[in-house]
Amino acid sequence: MFTGIQETASRQKIVLPRFAKLALQPPQCLLIEGGSAEDRHDMARYWACLLNCESGGTPCGNCKPCLQIADNAFNDFLLIDRFDEDGVEKQDIPVDNVRKYFPVWGQPPHGRGTRVTVVEEAQHLNGNSANALLKTLEEPRPGNVFVLTAPQRERLLGTLVSRSWVITLAWPTETQNSPEVSDWVNGMLGFWRSGQGWFARTSAKGALDKEQALKVIIGCQRELRNALKDPQLTPAANALSGLFDPKGLRRLDLVLGKAQENLNYNVNPALVLDWVCTAAMPRRK
């Protein structure tokens, strides 16, 4: 429903003037980062409404294009995600999910507005699907624009980022991790205290995949942010502030950033988290 898009837009007021300015001359590719996955999806639909609303201005939420885009039922609103033709969610975005739109992009939009293709959570593009998309971006198609959504631009190929206008949404304000992520973060804290217990966790078969490892890294970054802001926000933040001095916290921040980069290059997730634990080990006084 359009109300969901409207509610998200109201929480992202700071970026709305930039959306409006870009709509005057839409870039071929827009990258929406930050926020939550739901925020990114809603703002991608807001962009599509902005380019197709019959009011010609701020999306009205009442015209046929706005309502159909909100329901993912608009002819000129295309979505590329990880689901294959049988409705099965894959680990990566299949290349066929990109290629199937080649003939469509070669045609003008159905309506008077602009065809918007959203690559949802584009960090899941694999080598083949990313190259297929890049080929399309290198050959501009009149009447077509693209939107990439991702938690952070660093999780995408640099060649995709360089071809995109980037809009950063307000980051989620949650201070708490999920129970699953908290369990992994607490495991790291235990290792940093005692030097024991971590490697048995990551060596277990099927212990974690790339997505889980990314969630753990982001969870550590959240607790690091909490520790810098107010260590009393969470027990983990309090533990971090006790284990690391200011230089150690800075080193941890750099290590977590490098770990995220390595995961994006498909380095073994268990090895990446093992490296985080050893590289960020607090230096004993």
Q: Measuring CA to CA, which residue among 142, 145, 136, 110 is closest to residue 26?
A: 145
Q: Are residues 42 and 159 in the same domain?
A: yes
Q: Are residues 17 and 45 in the same domain?
A: yes
Q: With 0.85 as the threshold, say if the pTM is over it.
A: no
Residue 116 lies in a domain: yes
Q: What is the pLDDT of residues 199-247, one digit of tens each?
A: 999 998 888 898 899 899 989 998 998 998 899 999 999 999 999 999 9
169, 193, 222: which is the final residue of a domain? Answer: 169
pLDDT, residue 266, reads 78
Residue 229 lies in a domain: yes
- Please state the length of the chain: 285
pLDDT, residue 97, reads 96
Specify whether the CB–CB gap between 166 and 156 falls below 8 A.
Answer: no
Residue 284 lies in a domain: no
- State the DSSP string of 206-243: T---HHHHHHHHHHHHHHHHHHHH-GGG-HHHHHHHHH
Tell me how many domains the chain contains. Answer: 2
Q: Are residues 68 and 187 in the same domain?
A: no
12: DSSP letter: T
Q: Are residues 157 and 264 in the same domain?
A: no
pLDDT, residue 285, reads 53
Strand order in the sheet with 77-80: 77-80, 115-119, 144-149, 29-34, 165-169
169, 193, 225: which is the final residue of a domain? Answer: 169
pLDDT, residue 207, reads 81
Q: Are residues 150 and 198 in the same domain?
A: no
pLDDT, residue 257, reads 84
Specify whether the CB–CB gap between 263 and 276 falls below 8 A.
Answer: no
What distance in Å separates the CA atoms of residue 59 and residue 80, rounded to the nearest whole number?
Answer: 23
Q: Are residues 50 and 187 in the same domain?
A: no
Q: Are residues 206 and 69 in the same domain?
A: no
Q: Are residues 42 and 113 in the same domain?
A: yes
Q: Is 116 helix (H, G, I), strand (E, B) or coil?
A: strand
Locate 258 and state its tokens.
């490098």
- Residue 268 belongs to domain spanning: 179-279
Q: What sign does the CA torsion over 8, 14, 16, 18 have? A: negative
Residue 174 lies in a domain: no
Q: Is 117 helix (H, G, I), strand (E, B) or coil?
A: strand
Q: Are residues 131 and 246 in the same domain?
A: no
147, 169, 191: which is the final residue of a domain? Answer: 169
Specify whether the CB–CB gap between 124 and 148 falls below 8 A.
Answer: no
pLDDT, residue 111, reads 87
Locate 117 and state its tokens.
């293709």
Q: Are residues 143 and 225 in the same domain?
A: no
Residue type, 25: Q
pLDDT, residue 206, reads 80
* Cβ-based neighbours of 76, under 8 Å, separated by 6 or more: 48, 52, 109, 110, 111, 113, 114, 115, 116
- Give the residue ranges of the chain where pLDDT is below 50: none
pLDDT, residue 125, reads 93
Residue 285 lies in a domain: no
